[in-house]
Structure 1
Amino acid sequence: MNYISKVSYFVLTKSIGLYINALSYVFPEKSSKLAYKYFTEPREGRLNRNTIPNILKEAEHEVLQHENETIQTYLWKGNDNKILLVHGWESNASRWELMIPQLRKSGSTVIALDGPAQGLSSGTEFNIPQYAKFVDALIQKFQPQYMIGHSMGGATCLYYQFKYNNPLLQKMVILGAPSEFEILLRNYKKTISLNNRAFQLLKKRFTERFQISPSDFSGKRFASNFNLKGLIAHDVDDDVVAFNEGRQIAEAWKTAQFVETRGLGHSMHDEHLYQKIYAFLFEE
C-alpha cells in the first residue's frame, strides 16, 4: 500500500468511526449493526471462477449446500489419511499452495475450503461460528483425522473442536492464530476510533448473536480441555497476531507442543516448518 493509499484508508476508517459514534447516541441499533458489518465483511479474498490459481485447478471441486450458503471445496485425492486445511481472514484455499505439495508426499488426501464470503463460497460476512459450521459440513462429509488452520482459520479450528468435540480428529496444527477475541475487538475499536458507547453496543451485538460474550471467546480456554494432539506454531515477528497469544494457547493445551519461529511474519510459509508439521502428522 503506497503513501496516498495509506492516508486515504486512514481517513476513511476514522470517518466511519466518527459516523458510528454519532449514531450510537441517536440510533444505537443502527450503530451496532454498522460497526458489526465493517468488522465482519472481508475486503479481500474473493476468487474469480475463470482465473483461479493453478493449485486449485489441480483439485476436484465440489460445492456443498449449508443452510442458505454455498461452500466451495477442493479435494486432492490420496489415501485414507485425510487432512482438512482452514485458511484465515481475507484469504481463500489458495493460501495453502506451498504446503499442499509437501502434505501430498505422504500420500494423504488433502481437503480445503473457501471460508464464508471468501474465495468462491457465498456470503458477505465472515465470523468464526459461521466458519465453524462450514468446517463441520466438510468434516461430516470427508471425516478427516487431521486439521490445519492459519490465523482466523486456526481460531476457527479451536472453536470448532470446543463446540463440536469431534472424536474423529486425532491431530490439529494451529499457525499464527489469535487466542482472545476481546483483543481483536479492541484492536478494531482503536483502528476506527470507536467511542466506549459504540464499542459496548458492538460487544452486546456479538453476545446476542453468538450466545457467548467476547471475553469468553478464548482460544486458550477452548484448548484447555482438548485431548487430541496439537502443534501450535507462532512467529516472534508476527505483526498481525501477537506472539504471546500463540504461547498462551500452547500453555493451556496440555497435549500440544509449541514451535517458535523467527522471520516468517504472519504468513508462516517456510520449508523447515512444513517439515516439522509433516513429522508431527505422519512420523510421531
Structure 2
Amino acid sequence: MDPARALIRTALNPTAGLAPALAGRAAFELFRRPLRRGRVRPAERDVHGRAAAEPLRVNGTAVAGYRWGSGERPVLLLHGWRSRASRFAPLVPRLRALGLSVVAFDAPGHGDSGGRSTSVLEFRELAGQLQERYGPFEAVVAHSLGVCAAFGALADGLRAGRLAAVAGVSDVGFFPAAFCAELGLVGTVEQALRREIERGLFAGDAGVWERYDAARQAAVVGLPILAVHDEGDAVVPPGQAHRLQRAYGERLDLVTTRGLGHRRIVTEPTVIDQVIGFISAGMEATSS
C-alpha cells in the first residue's frame, strides 16, 4: 500500500464526515497539483531542442511554449496530466513533412513552465493565445486531459479543421471521480471536491459539469474527429471514447488499440500513422 495515499485517505475520509467543506478544500489543493513533472526523455531531445521558444503567460504564470516551423498552417498539440509537449516528439517531424507548423506548450505545473497547478481553463486560455498569434489551426492533436480541454476550447470558439483525440477524457466530471477512486476517498469527499471545483475554478457555476461534457457539445463542435483509445487503458477507460462515438456519430472515427495502455499510445508508430493520415485527409479535402 502506498503510504502517502493511505495517509490522505486516513485524513480526508473522517474529516468529510465532520467538516465536508474543509475536506473539499484539502482535496482540491491536492487535485489541481500534478506533484511531479515529466522530464524530456532521451528520444525526445532532438525534436525538443529544435523548437523555437514561444513564451506565454496565464494567470500570472510564465508558460513554456514551443513552435516548430514559421507558424503558418499551425497544428496545436495539447498534452495530458503530468505530461509535457515533448511527449509528442515523434509526431512533430511527420507534421512538418506535410508542410505544417506545430505549436504547443507545457501547462502550468508541467514540464518547463512555472506554477504548481493548472486546470482545463488555463489550457483553453493558452490555446486561445496561440490562435491569436497564428490564426485558425489546421488540426488539434490532444492526449488525455488535453482532449477534454480541446473540446472545451472548441465549444468556446477555438477554430480548427480537425481534432485527433488520443486516450481522451470526454467530460470534466471524470476527473474528481477518478481522483477520489484512486485515493480511496468516500463519496462525501468527492461531493465536497466537486463543490470546491465549482467555487474555485468556475465562480460557483454548478452547470460546469454539463458545459464541459464533450458528449453534450456535438451540436457546437462540428469538425471531423479521430478518437484513438486502447481497450486496456487503466487510466481513462475506453468508455470515455465510446460515449463520444455515440454523441458524434459519423463525424467521429473510433480506432481501438490493444496493449498500448494510456501513455505508450501517444508514441506508438501505428497510432502516429493514423493521426497523420487523418490530418492529411483534411488537407486534401481543403485543396480539392
Q: TM-score range by the shorter chain?
A: 0.7 to 0.9
Counterpart of 2:90?
98
Task: Find the counterpart in structure 2 of residue 81 from structure 1.
Answer: 73
The one of 189, 196, 200 aligned to 2:187: 196
- Say if 1:47 and 1:118, in contact at 8 Å, map to a contact too: no
Matching of residue 65 in structure 1 with residue 60 in structure 2: no
Report SS of the residue matched to 2:54. strand
User: Within 2, Cα distance between the matches of 1:218 and 1:202?
Assistant: 18
8 Å CA contact 1:224, 1:252 repeated in 2: no
Pair 1:257 & 2:249 matched: no
What is the count of residue pairs matched by the alignment? 271
Q: Look up the equivalent residue of 1:261 and give its one-letter code.
A: T
1:53 counterpart letter in structure 2: R
Superposed, which structure 2 residues align to 1:1-284 within 5 Å? 7=1, 10-47=2-39, 53-78=45-70, 80-143=72-135, 144-162=137-155, 164-166=156-158, 168-208=159-199, 209-210=201-202, 211-213=205-207, 215-216=209-210, 217-254=212-249, 255-267=251-263, 268=265, 269-284=267-282
Distance in 2 of aligned mates of 1:23 and 1:155:
31
Q: TM-score by structure 2 length?
A: 0.86
- Find the aligned partners of 2:270 and 2:80 in 1 and give their Cα distance: 21
Quote the Cα distance in structure 2 between the aligned partners of 1:142 and 1:127. 23
Amino acid at match of 1:146: A
Structure 2: gaps spanning 5 or more residues: 283-288
SS state at 1:41 partner: coil
Tell me how far apart the structure 2 counterparts of residues 274 and 193 of structure 1 sit (CA, whole Å): 35
Aligned to 1:283, what secondary structure does the other structure show? helix
Q: Measured at CA, do residues 230 and 249 of structure 1 come closer, stay the same or move farther in structure 2, by a change above 3 Å?
A: same
Which amino acid counterpart does residue 226 of structure 1 have in structure 2? V
Give 5+ residue unaligned stretches, structure 1: 1-6
- Tell me, in whole angstroms, the C-alpha distance in 2 between the residues paired with 1:223 and 1:140: 24
Instruction: Using the TM superposition, give the Cα deviation of residue 118 of structure 1 relative to its aligned residue in structure 2, in angstroms.
Output: 0.4
**Percent sequence identity over aligned pairs:** 21
Deviations 1:230-269 (A, max 9, x none): 1111111212111121121122124222222222221212
